[in-house]
Structures are given as C-alpha cells and as structure tokens.
Structure 1
C-alpha cells in the first residue's frame, strides 16, 4: 500500500487543488484530509453519507453548582483566569479559558469540580464521487491536532486494508508544525506544492528539510511558475543541488478559481490545466511506485 501526502510550506500555494485533482485521476484509493485545523477538501469533493464521531482529547474542569459553597479557592489557583464567582455565589468555569491543568480539581475542599474528557472536534468517514473520504475538524482552540491526524491516518489505513485499496492520498496541513509532522509518519512520498515567491521558496525549503529529517522521498511541483520564471528557476536549482525531484510546473490560470466556483476538480473542469495536472499525476504516481519498491 502506498501513501502520498501533499504538503506546502505555506497556505495558498495550491496544495488542496492539486490533491483534489489527483483524487480525480488516481485509481483504487482512499482520500484523507489531514488539515484538521482548516479542512477544505470537502468543498470540492462534496462528501455524502457522513458518519462522524466525537474527538476527545484532554480534560476540562466543570463545577457541580449544587455542592459549591463559593469559597473561591479555585479562582485563586487558576492561572488562566477561567474561574469566576457568579451572583449566586457559585464558582463557574469558562470552557474557552480552561486549559485542563487540574489545579482547581485537586485543591477544591468540597470536591465539587468534575474533570470529564474534552470534546475537541470530530472525525468522520464519507462517500464521494472519487471514493471514501476520511476527514475531521478540530474545534477552534482545540488541542492535539497531531493526535487527530494520527487517528485519521490509522482509520484510512484500516479501511484501505479492509476494502483492498492500494493508495491513500492525503491533503496535509500547511507549515511544519505538529499536524504536518504527524502526517509524514508512514508515508511513501511527499508531494510539495510551492509558488515562485520569496515566501514560497523559504517555506518550501523548510518543509523539504523536514522531509529530509524523516528520510521521506519528495517531489516538488512549482505552481503558478510563469508569474516569476526567475524564482521558479532558483527553486529548481535549489532542488537539484539537494537531489530533490521536481515533478514539473503549473502555469497561472483563472481556470483554478473557476473550477472551485463550480465545485469541480481541474480534470473535471477541463481546459489546458487538465492535461498539465495529468502529467504531474503520472510523474508523482511513478515516483511513489519507485519509492514503494525501494523500501
């Protein structure tokens, strides 16, 4: 089984559009959206028959008002100013401020503060016109995005094994933080989408170094390459100096925006970019096959 993770060092480089296009072209695959903080792959894939479960991570303090005498000890020990005393003389905890440190629970003399698991979002499986989609959403401020990404990858792998899928195609998060690190675990190939700008080059090199650290093969796609041919050439030269594969270039085109407005992938929308993206998929798929055989 192969696993391709599409990443970009920064947001807005075109990672999700490329992933959705690959999903339209790939065969016998499961699609997985690992950008749990700001998922958007579902906009293009239009998931149906969604089955969701709560994602629990950490704990949150909750006051049982009937037993609280309003002594205020919990308010005094809370470093996050999550505790207030209400007009009824009872303690109340703001869930948006509570960090789950458990200090108030441990020091409450009347043991009136519960400490249940915190619901931080959901994870789900859906049907799409391109096959199963494993996806999730972390609540704003929710903790443990890396753990949620690992959960999605495990669910995708188990489903692929049960149903005989040969490929897991993942849309990763931008940047190099915890969810990206988690998304690289067990992957066959990282496809890095960048744009020929100073920030695009800088952030591409950061995520490429992260892949190097985990000894994960990578292929680079330069999106909107014609808006700055000199910077695109510098990216290719930097990749060649480190032995990194450049899968190819994509030109700037308003068809990307028009396809998104129509809620279609680039191969479905058609036009010149459809042929370009098909060539890139052939190159990425061939590289993934070679990497899988080399393991």
Structure 2
C-alpha cells in the first residue's frame, strides 16, 4: 500500500485543489482529509456518510459545585481567564480552558478535576465503489489537531486494507506544526504545493526542512506560477540550488473558481489549462510511486 501526501507551508496555496484533482484521477483510492481545522475535501466529492466516531483529545477543568466554597483562588491562578464568576458560581469556560492543571493544584477544597473532553469527530464516507474518504471536524478552540489527524490516517489505512485499495491519498494540514507533521510521517511520497509570493517562498523553505527531517521523498509544485514570474523564478532557483525536484507548474486558471463553486475537481473540466497541467504532474508522481 502506498501513501501519498499533499502538503503546503502555508494555507491558500491550492493544496486542496491539487488533492481533489488527484482524488478524481486515482481509482481505486481512499482519501484522507487531514486538514482537520478546515476540512473541505469531502465537499468536492459529496461522499455518503457511513460511520461517525467521537474524538477525545485534551482535558478540561470541571468544578464540583458541591465542594466549591467560592474562595476564588482558581480564578486568580488561571492564566487563560477561563474561569468565570456569575450568579455566585464559579464555572469553567471550556473554549478558554487549556487543561493546564493550575486550578486543580491550587484549589484548597479539591473541588476541581481534569476530565477528558470531546474535541471533535471523524467520519468515514463512501463516494462510489472505487473511492472512499475519511474526514474530520475539530471543535472550535481545540489544540489536539495532531492527534485527530493520526486517527483519520489510521482509519483510512484500515479501510484501505479492508477494501483492498492500493493508495491512500492524504490532503495534509498546512504549515509545519503538529497536524502537518502528523500528515507526512511514514508516507511514501510528499508533494509540496507553493505559490509565487514572498510568504510562499519563505514557508516553502520551512516545509522542505520539515519533510527532510522525517526523511520523506518529495517534490515541489508551483501553483499559479504565471501571476508573479519573478518570484516563480526565485522558487525555481532555490529548488535547483538545493537539489529539489520541481514536479510541475500550474498556470492561473479562472475555471478553478468555477470548479470550487460547483464543487467539482478542476481536472473534470476539459478546457481547463490548470487541469491539463495537473494531469501531467499526476502522471509523473504515479511513475514515482511505482
């Protein structure tokens, strides 16, 4: 079984556009949307929900009102201002609580405890007989996205083994944080999507360092390269100087906006110049996976 991850050093580079296109071109395949903070890959395929799982990540403080003597020490020690005093009752705001344990230690009445909290959900949906997708939704304010990404990938691998699928396609989380690293570990190949902007080049260098840290084989795709030829050239020069393969360059295409509005992968539009470029990149990557 092969695992192919598509990532980016920053958001908004066109990572999901490429992921949805690869998902449309691959068959059979199990898709894994690991951008759990803003999951949208399933919208491009309209999969039918088959299974739903709760994800318990971090812990939250809970105040036992029967033990609480209203001393207010917990509110004073909370650095996140997560404890409110209203109607003569101290209560914890679950969206602000970081589970740091300070209030638990400080409470003289042992009225506060940390309990595992529901941090989100993850799902298994069927697109058609050849395609399935695992996706997730992290609750607002939660910081355990890396753990949820791991659950998404485990379920995707499980389904691929059960259904006899040879490829798991991962739409990774952007950036270089925990969800991003959780998206690329143990993959067979990583595609890094960048854009011709100063921030795009800066964050490309960071994600390259991250992928190299995990010793994954990778290549770079420059999206909308023709919008800023000067910066595109800087990206090409950087890749050339650092022995990084450029898998391809995708031109700006107004049809991409239409594809997003109609929730269809861009490669399904016959007249799309971006779709044509992506198909060429796809063929090159498939040869590498062989």
TM-score, length of structure 2 as denominator length: 0.92
Per-residue CA shift, 1:26-68, capped at 9, x if unaligned? 1221101111111121221222224222211121122233443
Q: Provide the alpha-carbon RMSD of the alignment.
A: 1.8
Map 1:1-295 onto structure 2 (within 5 A): 1-87=1-87, 89-129=88-128, 131-273=131-273, 274-289=275-290
* Aligned mates of 1:192, 1:163 — CA distance in 2: 28
**1:185 and 1:267 mapped to 2: Cα distance?**
28
Matched residues in 1 for 2:81 and 2:277: separation?
54
Q: CA deviation at 1:22?
A: 0.4
How many Å separate the matches in 2 of 1:201 and 1:90? 51
Contact kept? 2:95, 2:142, Cα under 8 Å: no
Is the alpha carbon distance of 1:107 and 1:210 closer, same or farther for their aligned partners in structure 2, counting shifts above 3 Å?
Answer: closer
Count of residue pairs brought into register by the alignment: 288
Structure 1: which 5+ runs fail to align?
Answer: 290-295
Per the TM alignment, residue 109 of structure 1 is displaced from its structure 2 partner at its CA by 4.2
Quote the Cα distance in structure 2 between the aligned partners of 1:237 and 1:125.
Answer: 42
Deviation digits for residues 126-168 of structure 1, max 9, x if unmatched? Answer: 1124611111121221022111111211111121112111101
Distance of 1:206 and 1:76 partners within structure 2 = 39
Q: TM-score, normalised by structure 1?
A: 0.91
Q: Distance in 1 between matches of 2:90 and 2:272?
A: 63
- Paired residues of 1:82 and 1:93 also in contact (CA < 8 A): yes
Work out the CA distance in 2 between the residues paired with 1:110 and 1:235: 60
Q: Which moved more, 1:244-253 or 1:230-239?
A: 230-239
Unaligned 5+ segments in structure 2 are none
Q: For the Cα contact (< 8 Å) 2:125–2:132, is it kept in 1?
A: yes
Report SS of the residue matched to 1:186: coil
Partners of 1:230 and 1:79 in 2: how far apart?
Answer: 46
For 2:184 and 2:237, the matched residues in 1 are separated by 25
Q: 2 CA distance for matches of 1:95 and 1:271? A: 49
Q: Distance in 2 between matches of 1:230 and 1:84?
A: 53
- Residues 150-159 or 127-136, more deviating: 127-136
Aligned residue for 1:215, secondary structure, equals coil
